Amino acid sequence: MLNRREILNLAATASVSGGFAASAAQASGDADTPFQIIDSNVHLFQWPFRHLPLDTTGKLVDKLESLGVEQAWAGSYEGLMHRQMAAVNDRLATECGRHAELVPIGTIDPTLVRWQNDLEQCVLQHQMPGIRLYPGFHGYSLDSPAFGELLNESAAAGLFVQLVVAMEDTRTQHRQHQVPDVDLRPLARILPEAKGVRLQLLGARLRPAELRSLSTLPGLYFDTSRVDGTDGVPALCRAVPDGRVLYGSHAPFLVPEAALIRVHESGLVDQHSLAAVYAGNARQFHRGARL
């Protein structure tokens, strides 16, 4: 297993050595089976509050490619503040269409009057595999009847749902736009009653008691973007049923190398588990298998 310095060195030279995943496999003595990587949590366009180093699509795609990411599920920063989601999702689909690695994930705001039309557009016009929700930015709780309705309609349409728990640490937010982490407690009531829902939490930083409670819920998945500590990802994998942890970098808000380090540096994650977290679990989640 590679240590942090080796991972950083590989990431720095990946563009000339064929990608981080292949380089990591070679350095680990497993050159015949390089890791494939699917990043379930990236965004395109401009973060509203400051410029980010990789906030143009070309730069972000080049970086992800250099690290061996073969596919990235992309939401739109425009969906945080805009109120015309049809236009937001049109622009996202068009931009992703220019890059084979990018899969567009539409934004739905269930507080808007015509959100059902926006959902239909994601399915019929853009053939998106999933949608992304921002309750903190859009001002609703998970107790909202519209949230439950949206989950059910998404499941009926064959879509997975990504729920953004947090985009930014509350300590660094703009003082005029404070967005607390989403309260996840209503999921304990909602998910056992939902049929066929595949729901992934993005950007969740969970206390042990929260994780124990959430880990028992059917159809609930997690990403790696805000997992802390060298044992964070293995601990998350141990705490939830097999297949529920998907790689997510939260790029470009966070540098994608940081996510690779969090996932890869711990010797407690074996090669099979790494392959599952990097890509296998995402493929299963994408094609509709509900664990």
pLDDT tens-digit series, residues 223-280: 999 998 778 898 999 999 999 999 999 999 999 998 888 887 655 567 888 999 999 9
Domains and CATH numbers, the chain: 38-287 (3.20.20.140)
104 vs 289, which has greater pLDDT? Answer: 104
Q: Which amino acid is at 207?
A: R
Beta bridge partners of 131: 106, 161
280 vs 31, which has greater pLDDT? Answer: 280
Size (the chain), residues: 291
Cα gap 34→75, rounded to integer Å:
27
Q: Is 199 helix (H, G, I), strand (E, B) or coil?
A: strand
- What is this structure's pTM? 0.88
What sign results for the dihedral spanned by CA atoms 123, 126, 132, 138? negative
Q: Are 128 and 96 in contact (CB under 8 A)?
A: no
Average pLDDT over residues 130-149: 96
Residues 6+ apart with CB under 8 A from 163: 132, 133, 135, 182, 199, 200, 201, 202
Which pLDDT does position 269 carry in this prediction? 67
Annotate 10-24 with b (16+ C-beta within 10 A) or e (fewer): bbeebeeeebbbbbb
